[in-house]
Amino acid sequence: MQTKTGRAFVAASSEEGIERLSPNVRAHTATIIGYHDLDTLISERVSPEADRSRISLRKCMDCRIENDVAQHQPVGPRQTIHDEVGLTRDIERNSPLAQFRPQPDQHPRWRARGRAGVPMFPGVELRLYRYVAAIAEELNFTRASAKLHVAQPALSRQIKQLEDYLGTLLFERDRRGVRLTPAGEAFNAEARLTLFHAQRAVDGARAAKGQQKGPWKLGYTPLLDRRILAKVRQHLSAAHPTVDIQLASSYTSEQADALMRGKLQAGLVILPIREEGLTSEGFHRQALVLALPEHHPLAGKAVVELSDLDRLPLVVLRGDLEPRFGEDLKRIFGVARVQPRIFSEATTQAEALEFVADEGVAALTMPSAEYLRPEGIVFRSFADEFLTAEVGLAYLADNGSVILASLRKFLVETFKPLAVRGSRDRQARQMALF
């Protein structure tokens, strides 16, 4: 004689059989199979032929069920999964159902109370942070579910359960799409930090044993002097030959975002960097230079004054990409009572030099622009040192990476001993090393 659960498993062999089950039996059967409900099983269209696994039931909840419901022989190695209620299942590794393990917090009875009546959902599981972060990045549940390898109905239900637990909506969904609510924005920001710290805990343990897993990514601003970048690369390759060191070019604001998301381990940036949670250390200061057409009136001067920029059509770099060329630059001009006429805000130094060559205007650039070797363009230094840019190393606060510690030590030993000399002499001696 078959038990209620045994009959349910037999019914589960067809979509029609599932739909004939009562709601209680459907929920109970879905819990054992590993789906959150049988609607998901129907939507997935998993046929009994596709899952030739042996399923054994032992001590399921309060029921004393011991019923072998599989009629097919296993065709591969099996794994045993023990869950919260003592259910033991032998599931074939290649089974389509193997990915749907029962989650105790997803069943209404389990989520509400534990065995002793203690709430079993005192916090938020790490996977839910990952779900929210993926949806916030894609702003589309279908794409997020594909990225997470989770069925969309299951993803939507779990987000709804999380919102119920939090007592507030994280996402607004309408015909126009998906948007984060203010609560969702706050949750997503902390969720990304949580995921980063979780991964960093793993990476830190491996790094302590010299087992860095995966690439170690270092960002660098395109404005950086390539000689500095070459020396940094040489140091990392020599000090950590077994680690996959990857360099990624991106502007300071982009690096700050990547560091907060955990996509970079450190970054060589142009200071300042003001994001909370990030630490930055300056190690090399460079004076900005003025790029001029060779027939420009200021090209005849050996050095230019800051006051020469007053009312001068000037190309600068975008302040949203490099904050030093945004509000900081405006503040310096304000203190010096200089008001240049901003002709354009360029994305790259190469673009700024194109304006110089084609439009006959001046451009404020880093010294590294000289290595582009533009024809018909000359560079002039400033007599004073108000206009400077400081190169620094940025990373997430409390980062315990051994590789990061090695890089910081290298930069300190290379640049800090030279800081006691005068600024111009220091810069000359620093760059002589490169």
Give pLDDT tens digits for 264-294: 999 999 999 988 889 999 999 999 999 999 9
Evaluate if residue 186 carries a pLDDT over 70.
yes
Q: How many CB atoms lie within 10 A of CB 14?
A: 12
Point out the least confidently predicted range of 54-68, 212-226, 332-346, 409-423.
Answer: 54-68
Kindly state whether residues 278 and 140 are assigned to the same domain.
no
Q: What is the per-residue pLDDT for 85?
A: 34
Q: Is 132 exposed, middle or buried (0-12, 13-18, 19+ CB in 10 A)?
A: buried
> Amino acid identity of 375?
E
Structure tokens at 390: 């400081």
Q: What is the per-residue pLDDT for 252?
A: 96
Kindly state whether residues 250 and 345 are assigned to the same domain.
no
Residue 291 per-residue DSSP state? E
Beta-bridge partners for 394: 267, 280
* Residue 120: inside a domain: no
* Residue 121: inside a domain: no
Give this prediction's pTM: 0.56
Residue reference for tokens 């975008």: 318
Q: Is 242 exposed, middle or buried (0-12, 13-18, 19+ CB in 10 A)?
A: exposed
Evaluate if residue 78 carries a pLDDT over 80.
no
CB 102 within 8 A of CB 92: no
What would the mean pLDDT of 138-146 be, rounded to a whole number?
A: 92
Kindly state whether residues 365 and 413 are assigned to the same domain.
no
Kindly state whether residues 277 and 413 are assigned to the same domain.
yes
Of 366, 324, 360, the C-alpha closest to 344 is 360
Q: pLDDT higher for 295 or 433?
A: 295
**Bond prior to 104 in cis (omega within 30° of 0):** no
> Amino acid identity of 249?
S
Residue numbers of the domain that contains 137: 126-204
DSSP string over 174-199: ETTEEEE-HHHHHHHHHHHHHHHHHH
Kindly state whether residues 253 and 165 are assigned to the same domain.
no
Evaluate if residue 424 carries a pLDDT over 80.
no
Q: What is the per-residue pLDDT for 47?
A: 43
Structure tokens at 8: 């349910």
**For all residues of the chain together, what is the average pLDDT?**
75
Confidence class of residue 174 from pLDDT cuts 50, 70 and 90? confident
Q: How many CB atoms lie within 10 A of CB 334?
A: 10
- Number of structural domains in the chain: 4
CB 399 within 8 A of CB 265: yes
Q: Is 341 exposed, middle or buried (0-12, 13-18, 19+ CB in 10 A)?
A: exposed
Kindly state whether residues 396 and 367 are assigned to the same domain.
no
Cα of 175 vs its chain's centroid, Å: 28
Structure tokens at 114: 């534990």
Kindly state whether residues 146 and 280 are assigned to the same domain.
no
Kindly state whether residues 172 and 316 are assigned to the same domain.
no
CB 114 within 8 A of CB 120: yes
Cα of 315 vs its chain's centroid, Å: 33
Percent of the chain surpassing pLDDT 70? 65
Last residue of a domain, which of 89, 112, 135?
Answer: 112
- Helices 226-239 and 402-415: crossing angle in degrees, nearest 10, is 130
Of 250, 290, 291, the C-alpha closest to 273 is 250
Kindly state whether residues 279 and 422 are assigned to the same domain.
yes
Kindly state whether residues 96 and 26 are assigned to the same domain.
yes
Confidence class of residue 145 from pLDDT cuts 50, 70 and 90? very high
CB 147 within 8 A of CB 134: yes
Kindly state whether residues 374 and 320 are assigned to the same domain.
yes
Most confident range, picked from 18-22, 86-90, 373-377: 373-377
SS3 state at 155: helix
Last residue of a domain, which of 164, 187, 204?
Answer: 204
CATH assignment at residue 399: 3.40.190.10
